Structure 1
Amino acid sequence: MTKTAVVIGATGLVGSALLEQLLADESWDKVRVFGRKHSGLQAAKLEEHIVDFANIEDWQQLIQGRSLFICIGTTLSQAGSKAAMRAIDLDLPLRFANYARRNQVEDCLLISSLFANAKSPSHYLRIKGQLEHQLTFLGFKHLMVFRPGPLLGERKQVRFSEQVVAAMQPVFSASLSPLRRWRGIEAEQLAVTMLRYANTPPAEASLVIQGEALFSAR
């Protein structure tokens, strides 16, 4: 049986690293990517679809595969408003996941955030928590939620807050530091962890992976 990965957010920091690893992993026969622009990569098993996410229903039949990787996300400054941010970080991935499940996609792997909580006073963390919560009702065989701290790596658009966090990593990473939970993770490391779980799903139907589990081998 053909093993196909479905990816949204493949041009982002983690998504691009994950895409490269999926293409290099021989256990995946096809990698089906949906986005607003090309990834810039070429491979025999890469199938890219440049789409209008506002009209998912027009091409939803293409959302088929074994596992869905949700790597899409934005910031308030990039989105321009809280409503626009919600549309990108919650509404879009939830609609996409709904169609994926209708098309019998078995597993869902989501990049969320440290401290995600549907009742958080933080708009960003509340959206992430709401997405986590609503995905649990779609009936995926396995729902794997990854809650990283700050994401480290070279972005096309520099984020000042992440530059500050990156500079403080020695403090956050100290083994006895009370701030260790804020330790950042390299995008490539997070992609490695996601692919490891995708290749060997957990026994649990729903699992949150955070803290040291993001860094340790299973």
Structure 2
Amino acid sequence: MPAPLTLLLLGATGAVGSQTLRLALADPRIARVVAPTRRPLPAHPKLANPVGESIADAAIPDGIDAAICALGSTIRKAGSREAFAAIDRDLPVALASRAKAAGAHSFVLNSSLGASLSGSFYLRTKAEAEAGIRALGIKSFTIVRPSLIETRRAEPRLAETVGLAVARLLAVLIPRRYRPVSAEAIAATMLEAAISARPGETVIESEAIRPPQG
């Protein structure tokens, strides 16, 4: 049995990140979780939680085996297109570079359904984040592209709330790829990808996202 891993988790306070943290702390295949945040997380024997004003400047120790990036915002919440791109593109790429330097051979990015360099500004930004991390040449790179995320947020997102309501009404008519997926299922899929560390690049589209087993 392989030795338990040290996992770097970026975005541990968000909807997907918090579920990833919960699953990782309970998984015997994970020895330690390093989760830099701006506000303290509840203490746990397996958790290292560097706290600082900016996650961009967070301490990332050497000895990282795998990394998961669950960072994400909206243009409205960020305040401008430039600020959104800084959070959803520039920050993941910069932190992926630091994770690789700290030893990570596996990196998993939570992206978006439809990410494309020819898409809308939002989808283009997501695709640019994918491309930036791809260029780093990390041994195992997994991109997870969920549809609408089924979750309860502390700060609801109007477009997401409306989209989820419509999706629930039309669930049987909507192709699987476009149906909402739970934050827990995304987290479980990302964690498995980080641990398995399949060589090369793997893209997991929304219909292939599965909830935790057992």
Taking structure 2 as the reference length, the TM-score comes to 0.90
Aligned partners of 1:119 and 1:126 also within 8 Å: yes
Which runs of at least 4 in structure 1 moved beyond 4 Å after TM superposition? none
User: Residue type matched to 1:161 in 2?
Assistant: A
Q: Percent identity?
A: 31
Aligned partners of 1:64 and 1:100 also within 8 Å: no
Using the alignment, how far apart are the partners of 2:33 and 2:212 within structure 1?
24
**Structure 2 matches for 1:23-102, cutoff 5 A?**
23-39=25-41, 41-53=42-54, 56=57, 62=61, 64-102=63-101
Residue 184 (structure 1) aligned to one of 161, 164, 180: 180
Using the alignment, how far apart are the partners of 1:171 and 1:141 within structure 2?
42
**Structure 2 matches for 1:1-40, cutoff 5 A?**
1=3, 3-39=5-41
Matched residues, number: 211
Aligned to 1:199: 195
5+ long unaligned stretches in structure 2: none
SS at match of 1:69: strand
Aligned to 2:210: 215
Aligned partners of 1:109 and 1:198 also within 8 Å: yes
Taking structure 1 as the reference length, the TM-score comes to 0.89
User: Which is further off, 107-116 or 89-98?
Assistant: 89-98
Aligned partners of 2:106 and 2:139 also within 8 Å: yes
Q: Say what the alpha-carbon RMSD is for the aligned residues.
A: 2.1
Aligned partners of 2:62 and 2:103 also within 8 Å: no
Shift of 1:54: 7.2
Using the alignment, how far apart are the partners of 2:194 and 2:170 within structure 1?
28
Per-residue CA shift, 1:138-187, capped at 9, x if unaligned?
Answer: 1211100000000111100011212112212335532xx35443211010
